[in-house]
Amino acid sequence: MDQDCISRIMSEDYADFIYEYTREYEAIRADPNTCMDIVDNVYAILYYPISLIPANSIQLYGYSVYPRCFGLLDISSNEASGIRRLQNIPSLDLRGNGVLVGIIDTGIDYTHKAFKNADGTTRILSIWDQTIQDGPPPEGFYYGTEYTKDQINVALLDENPISLVPSIDEIGHGTMLAGIAAGSIDESNSFTGVANQSEMAIVKLKPAKRFIKNFLRIQEDKLCFQENDIMLAAKYLINYAARLKRPISICIGLGSTQGAHDARGNLNSYLTSLAQQTGVGMVIAAGNEGNSGSHFQATLNPGAKSVPLELRVGANEYGFTMELWGDAPNTFSIDIMSPTGEYIPIIHARLGESRVLNFIFEETTINLDFQYVEAQTGAQLILIRFLKPTEGIWRFQVYPSLNFNAHFHIWLPLRQFLNSETYFTAPDPEYTLTSPANSIIPIVSTAYDHVTQSLYLSASRGYTRTNNIKPDIAAPGVNLVVPTFNNGYITGTGTSLAAAHVTGISALLLEWGIIMGNLTTMGSVEIKNLLIRGARRDVNVMYPNKQWGYGIVDVYRAFESLRGDSGQ
């Protein structure tokens, strides 16, 4: 990639698009306005001048080329998961030796004692900070800066380490995840990570560009990350582990409510392909959208002409998207009534249908795009983008095209991107898993309170839109001790912490399977099956289910299952 193309990666004048480039490789290469960065043998990222993007780009290129925008999923446990019990057995004193733990998030506070050895040296092998352009970037990548273990160790000896390695976790979220998964033992603060002897590789994601935030009606001050940057982060971690010839356990504590929620989509498909590799444990957080009021679903029985729904919009809402995904072979049409009573008659689903709706008595603008057959899923998509929506109750009618059972879902954005008073008046807490937690192969963790043995109230619930079983497992994720700024510790809650916990357990299993030679073909599928077999289950509950998956993680019982005495 030449220097002009490299400059486009960070430029706000260029949009990032994700293409399955093998279909149109020659046409893309022939376009002089396009620069391309190949991810793998399927996906490429295109950098294209925003000024040249046509108004009907969704109809021309499809919805999936626009990167989804991902947000953060949250703002004693080792004993509950059987880890301490396992480590008390000399032959199974697993602590993650020889296994990498990879974190894709907001970076890491590398100066924190939770990431140091007893002699004060770092346990972090690399940090790829996508936000710092001083270079050099990782080999084979074109932006950001890679910092090595040696550079971090030199910085730690300096009075001002940030002057030498200026990568900072301003949010603290990535630091929390890394601490739960692989933090060093700190008995004075009653803290230890799960894989407390694993070394770490960290990616700090760069924030999303203004173009995609404007397209998705996300306010400028909201933090979100682009799908293509997450894909490249995962590629980096896999390549880094391969160069070192080590297994790796990767934690993704990010999520989006965009997409079909059915295991397909760019990031979902890419992570699934990586998770199928030997030596890779891919762990994803389920999300915290279970009680957000951001999901609606309905089934119209034969003879039913339409179904109503209401959306409450709070005061001073900047804007948001609504995505209606309808099950084939039906197609769906909608009408709209604003809070002031202004009525938009039924807009029929047609191939290439795209509308801009302006209201006479209010400032609201709605962009409406129909994808009659969305390219990656075959389902129908109605993408509704609100700008300056009027406060109050918005009413919709959804009309099916065929006279038999017609089913559809609608999702709003992540709760953190919305006004707290914007929600469906009759929401459904099921099917609220955030993407990529609806991927099939990766291990998806929900959160529970290991003290009260109750599910985390806000945890997203399964299944996927096509009723594949997710989440897989429940792990501690409520009031966990986590590292924070200034060498301190706080308590944290959320499904991303539960995912970090399972990431650490995945590293222990990779140590047992690959480093110790007990199961040298171990990957995400084998790890997931072991955890499912060893999961603790309530005899009064049917499993799997949409809240708990297959039950509560218990790594000790997972090993018991190998000798057939788990008691199940």
Give dist(CA 45, CA 65) in Å, integer: 9
Neighbours of 507 (CB within 10 A): 37
pTM: 0.95
CATH superfamily of 80-287+435-562: Peptidase S8/S53 domain (3.40.50.200)
**C-alpha torsion angle, residues 70, 75, 76, 80 (rounded to 10):** -30
Give dist(CA 432, CA 251) in Å, integer: 20
How many Cα atoms sit within 13 Å of 401 on the Cβ side? 14
Among the residues of 363-494, which ranges form H helices?
none
Residue 343's φ and ψ, nearest 5 degrees, are: -110, 130
User: Tell me, what amino acid is at 158?
Assistant: D
Give dist(CA 149, CA 335) in Å, integer: 58
Relative to beta strand 443-449, strand 423-424 is unpaired
DSSP 3-state assignment of 198?
coil
DSSP 3-state assignment of 242?
helix
Give dist(CA 178, CA 433) in Å, integer: 23
The structural domains of the chain, with segments of one domain joined by +, span 3-53, 80-287+435-562, 295-424
CATH architecture of the domain covering 295-424: Sandwich (2.60)
**Residues of the chain with confidence (pLDDT) below 50:** 566-568
Q: How far is CA 340 from the centre of its chain?
A: 37
User: Tell me, what amino acid is at 33?
Assistant: N
Give the pair of three-digit tokens for residue 383.
Answer: 């993408």
Contact between 450 and 310 under an 8 Å Cβ cutoff? The reply is: no
Give the pair of three-digit tokens for residue 296.
Answer: 């609606």
- The CA distances from residue 536 to 287, 374, 568, in Å, are 22, 40, 9
- The CA distances from residue 544 to 89, 442, 501, 532, 554, in Å, are 30, 17, 21, 10, 16
DSSP 58-125: HHHH-GGGSPPEEEES---HHHHTTHHHHHTSGGG----TT-EEEEEEB---TTSGGGB-TTS-BSEE
- Nearest Cα neighbor of 62 from 35, 5, 10, 23 is 23
pLDDT, residue 201, reads 98
Residue 156's φ and ψ, nearest 5 degrees, are: -65, -20
Neighbours of 97 (CB within 10 A): 15
Give dist(CA 217, CA 377) in Å, integer: 24
Give dist(CA 430, CA 268) in Å, integer: 20
pLDDT, residue 77, reads 54
Which residues, in sequence order, are CB contacts of 512 under 8 Å at separation 6+? 92, 94, 518, 519
Contact between 124 and 110 under an 8 Å Cβ cutoff? The reply is: yes
- Nearest Cα neighbor of 76 from 421, 453, 385 is 453
- The CA distances from residue 252 to 136, 140, 255, 420, 455, in Å, are 25, 22, 8, 25, 20
DSSP 3-state assignment of 237?
helix
Give the pair of three-digit tokens for residue 297.
Answer: 């679903």
pLDDT, residue 409, reads 97
Give dist(CA 411, CA 311) in Å, integer: 11
Among the residues of 209-279, which ranges form H helices?
210-215, 227-244, 266-275
- Nearest Cα neighbor of 529 from 448, 469, 405, 443 is 443
- Do 295-424 and 80-287+435-562 fall under one CATH topology? no
pLDDT, residue 547, reads 97
